[in-house]
Amino acid sequence: MATASMKVASETYTTEKLASAKQGERQSVIAHGVRHQEKHVASSASSKFIGFKGVSSSSQSSSTKCSSQMASGMLRLECPDLRILIEDAGKHLEDLEKLSALSSKDDVDKTLVIYTGMFSKFVDSYRLIPEENIPTCLKTISDVIHKAWAIPSHGHTLGSSLCDVLRNNGGLDILIKSCCSQNKNLLFCSARVLEQCLTTENRSYIAENGLVNVLKAARICSDTRRNVDFTRVGTGILEHLFKHSESTCKQVIRQGGLKCVINDSRYCNDVETLRHCSSALANLSLYGGSDNHQAMICENVQNWLFPLAFHDDDNIKYYACLALATLVANKEIEAAVNRSGALNLVEPFLMDHDPAEFSASSVAHIHGHSKDWLERLVPVLNSNRKEAQSLAAFHFVMEAGIKNKQCNTEIFREIGAVESLKRVASSPNAIASRYAAQALKLMDEELPHKLSQQVPLWTVEDVIEWLKQIGFFNYSKEFFDSRVDGDLLLQLNEVMLIDDIGMLNGILRKRFMRELGLLKKMADYSSCDFSDLHRFLMNIGSEMIQYTYPLLNAGVDAKVLKYLTDDQLLRDCGIENSIHRLQILENVTANTGVSNLDGNVDKNIDVFISYRRSTGSQLASLLKVHLELRGFRVFIDVERLEAGKFDNNLLQSVRQAKHLILVLTQSSLDRCIGDIDHKDWIHREVVAALSSQCNIIPLTDNFQWPEPEQLPEDMRAVCYFNGVRWIHDYQEACVEKLERFIKGETKIGDGVLGRSVVLGGVVTPGTPTLRGSLNTYQRSQSNESKGSHSSDRDSKENILANGKEPIVLNDVVTNLH
C-alpha cells in the first residue's frame, strides 16, 4: 500500500518561501488522495492567470461557447476540455505528469491555466451535463487535484489555486448540494472531491455555507459496512472539519462526527482510514477547546486512543500520541487521560524516533504547520506533564528544521515558543529537555543552563536555576547562603522552610512543596538507588515516588521493605501520610515489584493479556480498552519494563492475575513448538499462569490450533480450555462472552471433555461437532487475516449470500432462514 496521507494541519506558506526550500523535496502520493498543503498566500498570488471567478477572460468566453455547444448536443465533438472530464481523463493529464521540481514557473502557470479553465467550464456547464456523466467528471476533477498536490515543489501553488477556482466559481456549492443526493455514487464522488480540496479557506466556506450537508456525506461514507474507499473519504473529511474552530468542532460532534471517528477506529483495519482517525482526534484535541475536550472524555476517547497509539504504523501512533499529550495538558481532564494508561506509550515512541527523519517520512509534516497550528501547541509544551512536554518539544524540533530551511524561524518568537523551549531545555525532564535544546539550536537561540535529572547530584547553582524556573528566585540568596544542594533540597520540609529559609507565608510554602513534589517524581535516583526501590514505589502509584529519597536516606532498600513497620515509615522515613504508609505496607505484603518472595501471591490484577507482538498487538490493545471500560483491572505489557527486570516483573504480573487472556492470532504458538529451553514468552507466560492457578481463556482470531502433542508438555493443557473466537464486526458480543468467563458465569475448563462450541465456532482441536447446533459464521478484518485457515475465513459476504442479515443470538452469530 502506498503511503497514506495524514492531514493534521499540513499548512504551508508563501510560494516564494516554498521556492527557497530544497528543490529535491518531494511529497508522498497515497493510495487515494494526497496530503493537502494548506494555502496561506495572498489572493493576488494567482490573480495573474485567474480572472473573475477564478478564470481568465479567454477561459470565460471559451466556457460560454462550450455551454452553447452543450445545448446543441455538440459537447463531445467541440468542447475538448469537458470531453476530458467525461471520457477517459487518465489519458489526458500529461500536462500535470510532465511537471517536476525542476519545471519552470512559466510551465506551471501554463498548466494551471489549462486546468483552471477545465474546472470553470465544468461549473458553468454543470446543469447541462447528463446526470450519468457527472460522477465521471467529478472523478476526473479529483484525479487532477490529487496529481496537482503531488507535484514536487509546485504542488502547493497548483493545488491551492485549483481549490480556489472551485470555491470562487461556485464549484463548492455544487459539491455541497450533491452531498445530499439520493444517488450514492454521485454523493461519494462529490465527497471525494471535497476531501481533496479542504484548504483553510474552503473549510471556512463550508463551515459557513454547507456544514450540515457535508457532515451528512461524511457520516454516510465513514460507515464501516462500506468499502475502504468510502471510509477513507468520510474520515478524511471529518479530519479536516475538526481543524477549524471550537464552534465548528462542537457542531461536528453534535451531528455524530466524533462517534463516526471512534467507530471507524474500532472496527476498521485499513491503515489510511486509521491515519485519518488518529489525525482527526489530534485536530479535535488542538482546536476543540475545553468544552469539546469534555465531550471527548464522555465518549471515552482517551481509552480508544490506546489501540491507535499501540499500532504498528508510525503516523497513526504519532498523531494518537499528540492527541493524548494535548488532552492531558488540560488539567480538567488530566486524571481521566492518566487512568487510560495510554500515556505510557508516548515517551517510548519519542525515544525510538529521530525528529528530522520522522519529519521527512510523510507529506503530513514534510512542509510543516501553520503559525496558528503551532501556537496551539505551545500550551502543551508549557504543561507540567512530562509526556506532553516531551511530545511538544519533539514536534518543535521537526518544525524548527523545516522553518530553518524556509528561513522562517522568526515564527517561533512570534508565538512565544522560544521562551517556553528555553524553560523546558533547562528542566530535569530528560527527553523533553534534549529535544527542546535541539530545537533552540536550529533556531540559533542561546541554550540555557541545563539541569540534570540526577537531582541528588545537583550543585547549589543548579538549585538556584531551578528556583528561577519555578518562580522562587526571590529566595535564591537564602538558599545560596545555606548552601542548599540537590541532596539537601530533597530533604527539605515546611519546618526548614520557616526556620532556615525564612519562608513565612504559608501559601508560598504550599506552592514550593508542590513544585518540590513534582521534582521528586521526575528525578532520577539511579546514582543512589541500587535495589530499584524507585520502581517498586512507582508500581504502587506515581504519588509514591516522592518517598524514594527519604527511604534511601533511612537506609531502606527493596530487601529491607518487608521488615518495615508503620511506625518506622513515620518516624525514620518521614512519611506523614498514613494512607500512603498503608499502601506501601500492603504492596510489600502482596510482593508487588519486590523480587522473588515465595508463597502465595495476592490476585490484584483481574486480567493479564498475553499476545504475540508480531500479529496480536492490535487485538490485544482493543481487548484492553473493552475490558477496562467494563470495570476490570487489566495488565498489558507495552515494553515499559526495564532490561534485566523484564523476566521477574512480567511473570510476577502473570501470577498476580486472576485470569490470563491468551490472544491467539495467526501462527501465535509456532515458536512454542520445540521450545524446550523456555525462550518463548508466550510459553513462559502460559506456564506461569498454569502454575499459579490463573484461569486461562484462549481468544482466537484467524488461528489454527496445532496438535497438543506438538507443544511442550508443561503448556499442553492450554489446548483444553474453553475459549472465544474473535469476530471483529461483533466485538461487543465477543467481549460479553469474555466477561462471563471472567465472572465465572461460564466454566473455563473441564479437561478434554470440557471442550465446547463457543462464539463463532469451535476453538479447541479435535472438538466433536454438535448435532442440531445453529450454523455459525465468523468475519474478521484482522491485519493477519489473509492466508489464514479456511475455518476462520467465513466473511460477511458469505453470510449475506442468501440475502439474510446476520444477528447475534445467545452469543452465536447465525442466519435467519
At 704-743, the pLDDT tens digits run 999 999 999 999 999 988 889 999 989 999 999 999 989 8
Residue 795 in grid coordinates: 466473511
The Cα-based distances of 758 to 117, 337, 567, 701, 732 in angstroms read 62, 35, 54, 13, 15
The helix, strand and coil proportions of the chain, stated in percent and rounded to the nearest 5, come to 60, 5, 35
39 neighbors 200 (Cβ within 8 angstroms)? yes
- Summarised one tens digit per residue, pLDDT across range 175-205 is 999 998 989 899 999 999 999 999 989 999 9
pLDDT, position 155 = 79
Question: Does residue 491 surpass a pLDDT of 60?
Answer: yes
Catalytic residue among 685, 713, 784, 805: 685
Assigned C-alpha cell, 661? 487472556
Nearest to 642 by CA among 552, 535, 549: 535
Q: How confident is the model at residue 647 (pLDDT cuts 50, 70, 90)?
A: low
pLDDT reported for residue 25: 38
Higher pLDDT, 786 or 591: 591
Q: Where are the beta strands (DSSP E) in 490-633?
A: 605-610
Q: pLDDT at position 722, please?
A: 87
The grid cell for 426 is: 533547562
Cell readout for 713 is: 508438555
What is the rounded distance in angstroms from the CA atom of residue 453 to the CA atom of residue 544?
18
Nearest partner of 357 among 312, 398, 408, 315, judged by Cα: 398
Contact by Cβ (8 Å): 489, 480: no
Statement: residue 56 has pLDDT above 90: no
Q: How much is the pLDDT for 767? A: 35
CA distance 366 to 28: 9
Model confidence at 785: pLDDT above 60: no
Q: Is 97 a catalytic residue?
A: no
Give residue 644's pLDDT. Answer: 41
The winner for highest mean pLDDT among 313-322, 652-661, 766-775, 800-809 is 313-322
C-alpha–C-alpha distance, residues 48 and 106, integer Å: 12
**What are the grid coordinates assigned to 762, written together?**
469451535
Distance CA 451, CA 431 (A): 12
Question: For residue 121, what is its C-alpha cell?
Answer: 467550464
Helix/strand/coil (H, E, C) string of 147-174? HHHHCCCCHHHHHHHHHHHHHHCCHHHH
CA distance linking residue 657 with residue 712, whole number of Å: 23
For residue 610, list its beta bridge partners.
662
pLDDT band at 641 (very low <50, low <70, confident <90, very high): very low
**CA proximity to 678, closest of 640, 711, 726:** 711
Which of residues 367 and 128 earns the better pLDDT score? 128
pLDDT above 90: residue 32: no
Contact 285, 326 (CB under 8 A): yes
Give the rounded percent of residues in the chain with a pLDDT score beyond 70: 77
Quick one: pLDDT band at residue 35, thresholds 50, 70, 90? Answer: very low
pLDDT score of 669 more than 90: yes
pLDDT at position 317 is 95
Residue 599 predicted with pLDDT over 80: no
Average pLDDT on 631-641 reads 77
More confident residue, 748 or 470: 470
Strands 695-700 and 724-725: parallel
Among the ranges given (40-54, 281-295, 464-478), the one the predictor scored with the smallest mean pLDDT:
40-54
- Residue 638 is predicted with a pLDDT of 76
Q: Do 309 and 605 contact (CB within 8 A), yes or no?
A: no
Q: Give the pTM.
A: 0.74
Q: What is the pLDDT of residues 426-449, one digit of tens each?
A: 988 889 999 999 999 999 998 888
pLDDT, one tens digit per residue, over 575-587 is: 989 999 998 888 8
Q: Is 697 in a helix, a strand, or coil?
A: strand
Model confidence over 87-97: pLDDT tens digits? 544 555 777 88
Please give the helix or strand (H or E) that residue 262 lies within, else none.
Answer: helix 257-267
- pLDDT class of 591 with cuts at 50, 70, 90: low
Type of residue numbered 775:
N
pLDDT digits (tens, 9 = 90+) for 104-138: 888 888 888 888 888 888 888 887 888 888 888 89
233 vs 33: CA distance, rounded Å: 9
Q: Which of 632, 665, 806 is nearest to 735 (CA)?
A: 632
Res. 402: pLDDT tops 50: yes
CB count within 10 Å of CB 814 equals: 17
Nearest CA among 136, 116, 150, 251 for reference residue 188: 136
Query: Which contiguous run of DSSP H or E holds residue 291?
Result: helix 289-298
Give the closest residue to 387 by CA, choosing from 242, 521, 548: 521
Confidence band of 698 (pLDDT split at 50, 70, 90): very high
Which residues have a Cβ under 8 Å from the Cβ of 21 and sit 6 or more positions away?
Answer: 153, 367, 405, 406
How many C-beta atoms surround the C-beta of residue 40 within 10 A? Answer: 19
Residue by residue, DSSP assigns 650-682 as: HHHHHHHEEEEEEEE-TTTTGGGTT-TT--SHH
pLDDT (0 to 100) of residue 562: 83
Flag the least confident range among 272-281, 441-450, 472-481, 793-802: 793-802
Nearest to 376 by CA among 236, 280, 282, 258: 282
Q: What is the DSSP string of 499-566?
A: III----HHHHHHHHHHHHHHHHH---TTT-SS-HHHHHHHH-GGGGGGHHHHHHTT--TTTGGG--H
Q: Using an 8 Å Cβ cutoff, are 561 and 532 in contact? A: no
How many Å apart are CA 93 and CA 113, to the nearest integer?
A: 14
> What distance, in Å, lies between the first and last C-alpha atoms of the chain?
39
CA distances for 459 relative to 227, 484, 520, 657, angstroms: 62, 8, 16, 45
Q: What number is the average pLDDT over the span 98-107?
A: 85
Q: What is the mean pLDDT of residues 629-641?
A: 80
The C-alpha atoms of residue 794 and residue 320 are separated, in whole angstroms, by 32
Report helix, strand or coil for 33. Answer: coil
- On average, the pLDDT of the chain sits at 79
What is the predicted pLDDT for the residue at 492?
93
DSSP-assigned letter for residue 447: P
Binned at pLDDT 50, 70 and 90, residue 693 comes out as confident
What number is the average pLDDT over the span 286-294? Answer: 95
Give residue 63's pLDDT band: very low, low, confident or very high (50, 70, 90). very low
Residue 751 has pLDDT above 60, yes or no: no
Greater confidence, 764 or 525? 525
Average pLDDT over residues 676-683: 90
Give pLDDT tens digits for 147-171: 888 887 787 788 889 999 999 989 9
Helices (H), 692-763: 731-742
